[in-house]
Amino acid sequence: MKRIGMLTSGGDCQALNAAMRGVVKTLLFSGEDIEIYGFQDGYKGLIYCNFQMLTGHDFSGILTKGGTILGTSRTPYKLIDEPTPEGLNKIEEMKRNYAKLKLDCLVILGGNGTHKTANRLSEEGLNVITLPKTIDNDLWGTDMTFGFQSAVDIATNAIDCIHTTASSHGRVFIVEVMGHKTGWLTLNAGMASGADIILLPEIPYDIKKVIEKIEERDKNGSRFTIIAVAEGAISKQDAKLSKKEYKKKLEKRKVSVSYEIADEIFARTGREVRVTVPGHMQRGGSPCPYDRVFASRLGAEAGKLILEGKFGFMVGYKNREIVQVKLEDVAGKLKNVDPDASIIKEAKLLGISFGD
Ligand code: F6P
């Protein structure tokens, strides 16, 4: 008999259910007797011992279902050592509940913040296996996270729709794509939808260069320009600020970066600019076929690790292979877009401007 705790933490994404189904199917198919403790709303469920007993039936028919059947919430790692409003020590409560329920392991699905806590729990002696989720694809140690390809599809679709209306009206259109810290989603959706300018957190932009590209397109007879802007895009000027100064600026800013860029383009050129923000749509709906397969493969490997009694790993993807990556190697590291990566060079060869 294996007692398995499961939780999904942080922002949701597509294929969380597919991944959990993969774990459970693998365990059941092996003939292992299992009890599944589904903790509700992420680490909160483990802290407050709020769980549901789940069976194989609960994981049936969820391969294509978006969101997470367990619910999720954010438990920021920087606050993990601060007591709960009731005065509970979060880490100690999680350890206590793990022991009280006599769990054999925890399967934790999450992104960057989630992995810091997962690693901490592993260091505290809990048996932990994690699966890499996030539409941002910014988790270190894996070439891909599930949710990413589904979000690329949605963001691409949004920009495709904008393309037709932009060409009719001859306007500048900005589409703001999710990703505060990294630009994987914007880069991929931007390239997939033929955006003319792509602005990423990793490549600070100069508004003059952005306008140069718009004017170059005007001269070449293109009636419109599409700009894909990551939520975390930053100007060269702002990139010079200290972390503290920039944070202060962001606190004061009432609108997102796209509106700031739109205002600047209007002020400098008089061009009509429209902003579209698909927002949380990008995390919603059914996972794309790639993510269904990918998350199922990761889930299967996690199930295998549990059967083998191997813990302290994230199941990831490297060079087209499913791999096991030590949690301590993943925690606290961000996988950024490298401004010198070949994809950026190729995009530039295609005439895409990064505003640099
Ligand atoms: O989960 C990742 C993400 O979707 C980011 O792309 C985005 O910046 C952020 O979460 C939004 O967070 P929230 O759902 O808390 O508004």
Sequence-ordered list of residues with C-beta below 8 angstroms from that of 290, at least 6 positions apart, any chain: 149, 150
- Ligand 1 pocket member 231 (CB < 6 A): yes
Sequence-ordered list of residues with C-beta below 8 angstroms from that of 53, at least 6 positions apart, any chain: 35, 36, 37, 38
Same CATH topology for 2-147+287-330 and 151-283: the answer is yes
Mean pLDDT of successive 10-residue stretches along the chain, which has 356 residues: 97 98 98 97 98 97 98 96 97 98 98 97 98 98 98 98 91 97 98 98 98 96 96 97 94 93 96 96 98 98 98 97 98 97 98 98
Report residue 109: phi and psi, to 5°. -110, 125
Amino acid 151: pLDDT = 98
Does residue 66 contact residue 14 with C-beta atoms inside 8 Å? yes
SS3 assignment, position 139: strand
Distance from the CA of 9 to the center of ligand 1, in angstroms?
12
Distance from the CA of 136 to the center of ligand 1, in angstroms?
8
Amino acid 45: pLDDT = 98
Distance from the CA of 2 to the center of ligand 1, in angstroms?
34
- Ligand 1 pocket member 136 (CB < 6 A): yes
Sequence-ordered list of residues with C-beta below 8 angstroms from that of 128, at least 6 positions apart, any chain: 105, 106, 108, 118, 119, 121, 122, 311, 312, 327
Amino acid 346: pLDDT = 98
- Ligand 1 pocket member 147 (CB < 6 A): no
Which residue has the least CA distance to atom 12 on ligand 1? Answer: 11
Does residue 174 contact residue 258 with C-beta atoms inside 8 Å? yes
Which of 136, 137, 138 has most ligand 1 atoms within 8 Å of its beta carbon, as the pocket-test mutant? Answer: 136
Which of 74, 114, 115, 135 has most ligand 1 atoms within 8 Å of its beta carbon, as the pocket-test mutant? Answer: 135
Amino acid 242: pLDDT = 96
Which atom in ligand 1 lies closest to the alpha carbon of residue 12?
1
Amino acid 254: pLDDT = 87
Report residue 205: phi and psi, to 5°. -105, 155
Amino acid 316: pLDDT = 98
DSSP per residue, 229-294: EETT--BHHHHTS-HHHHHHHHHH--S-HHHHHHHHHHHHH---EEEE--GGGGG-SPPPHHHHHH
Distance from the CA of 235 to the center of ligand 1, in angstroms?
21
Q: Which residue ranges make up each domain of the chain?
A: 2-147+287-330, 151-283
What top-level class would CATH report for the domain 2-147+287-330? Answer: alpha beta
Is 292 exposed, middle or buried, given 0-12, 13-18 or 19+ CB atoms closer than 10 A?
A: buried
Q: Match domain 151-283 to its CATH number in 3.40.190.10, 3.60.20.10, 2.60.40.1180, 3.40.50.460.
A: 3.40.50.460
Which residue has the least CA distance to atom 5 on ligand 1? Answer: 179
Report residue 305: phi and psi, to 5°. -60, -40
Distance from the CA of 199 to the center of ligand 1, in angstroms?
18
- Ligand 1 pocket member 179 (CB < 6 A): yes
Read off the tokens for 323: 């791999």
Which of 258, 283, 337 has most ligand 1 atoms within 8 Å of its beta carbon, as the pocket-test mutant? Answer: 283
Does residue 237 contact residue 203 with C-beta atoms inside 8 Å? no
Read off the tokens for 180: 């505060």
Radius of gyration of the chain (CA): 22
Amino acid 170: pLDDT = 87
- Of the candidates 84, 82, 14, the residue with the CA atom closest to the CA atom of residue 45: 84
Which residue has the least CA distance to atom 14 on ligand 1? Answer: 11
β-pair type (225-230, 273-276): unpaired
Which atom in ligand 1 lies closest to the alpha carbon of residue 178?
6
Amino acid 108: pLDDT = 98
CA 247, 336, 115, 33 torsion-angle sign: positive
Catalytic residues: 136
Q: How far apart are CA 12 and CA 66, in angstroms?
A: 9
Which DSSP state fits 329?
H
Read off the tokens for 12: 């949701």
Which atom in ligand 1 lies closest to the alpha carbon of residue 10?
1
Which residue has the least CA distance to atom 3 on ligand 1? Answer: 11
Q: How far apart are CA 21 and CA 15, in angstroms?
A: 10
